[in-house]
Amino acid sequence: MYTPESVQGLMLATQEWLEKTSEGPSGQPSLGEFLEKDVESLQAVLRFHEFRYYVENQALISDGQYDQLYKTLAAIEALHPQWVRADSPTQRVGSSLNQNFTTLPHLVPMLSLDNSYNADDLTDFDRKAREGAKGEILAYCVEPKFDGASISLVYENDQLVRALTRGDGVAGEEITQNIRQIRSIPLSAPFSSLGIEQIEIRGEIILSKQAFDAYNQKLIEKGESPLANPRNAAAGSLRMKDPKEVAERNLDGFFYHISHVQSTSGQLAFDTHAAALDLLWKMGFRSPQKEKKVFADIEGVIAFCAQYEAQRDDLPYEIDGMVVKVNQLALQDRLGMTSHHPRWAIAFKFKARQATTVLRQ
């Protein structure tokens, strides 16, 4: 998403803003000094540091420095509300309670995945896929199956305009305001640079193990009951009435599928699933771009799934399996889908964790 040249420019702008905001009486500059173009620069700086912190986990400034810049932006925008953009970092936190959630249709239905539980199931999936491919060479893209709450995002003219829960797969609850609290999800993305006018993206909202433990500790300190597991905590957070409470849970989002694209050219900017994940990463989304792997045969897929199952407890987030997808989008279209699931994808489910319970009399 950010080139070395743009990073250099944003870091230079960051330093300039940090110097500006430490000047003047009480350590604050005169807010009347700034122009609209200055506000746009500060908004861009803050979006960049949100990406580095929440998506790449590589902060380049301290929390105190970020807060310093954020408070300056909020103060300037309060004086000049006409300069506030929909994707400004200050526009994440909601100021009012949601009274209810409206049900809206997905642009493309969200189907479930067929499940597999062993190597034989994957081998059978491979056999059916190759029969459907009719001799065409195919490859598989494999990625973690994140254990969270499914979500669908719609961007129009580069702006996030709608976020829906999975619902019944055809329609979901509109929870855009709550999704705006998740700082790893961009409020805008430069899709128009690829000629994309509208795009629907699928993903999973999760709570990392660290964030889950930290939030539970807060609940315990308040004398409240801790949450059962990260998945339920993430799902429950999406339907909370107060967006500010959503922000406190430090949710995260992984995005792994582009379900709909409307472009000026009428053509896609990618022709494989792996390329779609790379595109999402470049656009500023946390996709499994680093976790994914492409294989030419099912034997490689099976070994990769076993490898991830063995290391699942070492990951910073919960996964309950792997997702195997035919990599070529044209071949996905040819294989099609049933009324329940696509024929070009399957979930490999991990074995349930086992534990011993001691009954004390």
Question: Residue 290 is which amino acid?
Answer: K
Tokens found for residue 360: 């004390």
Question: How far, in Å, CA of 32 to CA of 99, rounded?
Answer: 38
- Characterize the bridge pairing of strands 140-146 and 171-173: unpaired
Could you give the dihedral angle defined by the CA atoms of residues 218, 220, 226 and 230, in that order, rounded to the nearest 10 degrees?
A: 30
Q: Are 348 and 122 in contact (CB under 8 A)?
A: yes
Q: What is the pLDDT of residue 27?
A: 46
The question of whether 128 is a catalytic residue gets the answer: no
Q: Please state the separation of Cα 188 from the chain's center in Å.
A: 13
Q: What is the pLDDT of residue 354?
A: 54
Give the CA count within 13 Å in the CB-facing half-sphere of 347.
16
Give the CA count within 13 Å in the CB-facing half-sphere of 56.
15
Question: How far, in Å, CA of 334 to CA of 25, rounded?
Answer: 67
Tokens found for residue 92: 């994440």
Per-residue pLDDT of the chain (361 residues; tens, 9 = 90+): 789 999 999 999 999 998 887 754 444 555 667 788 888 999 999 999 988 877 776 889 887 888 888 888 988 888 888 888 888 888 876 544 445 789 999 999 998 899 898 999 999 999 999 999 999 999 999 999 999 999 999 999 999 999 999 988 899 999 999 999 999 999 999 999 999 999 999 999 999 999 999 989 998 999 998 888 888 888 888 888 888 888 888 999 999 999 999 998 877 889 999 999 999 999 999 999 999 999 999 999 999 999 999 999 999 999 999 999 999 999 999 999 987 789 999 999 998 765 444 445 5
Residue of 71, 145, 241, 290 marked active site: 145
pTM of the model: 0.83
Burial 110-137 (b: 16+ CB within 10 A, else e): bbebeebeebebbeebbeebeebbeeee
Q: What is the pLDDT of residue 339?
A: 74
Q: Are 103 and 122 in contact (CB under 8 A)?
A: no
Q: How far apart are the first and last CA of the chain?
A: 60
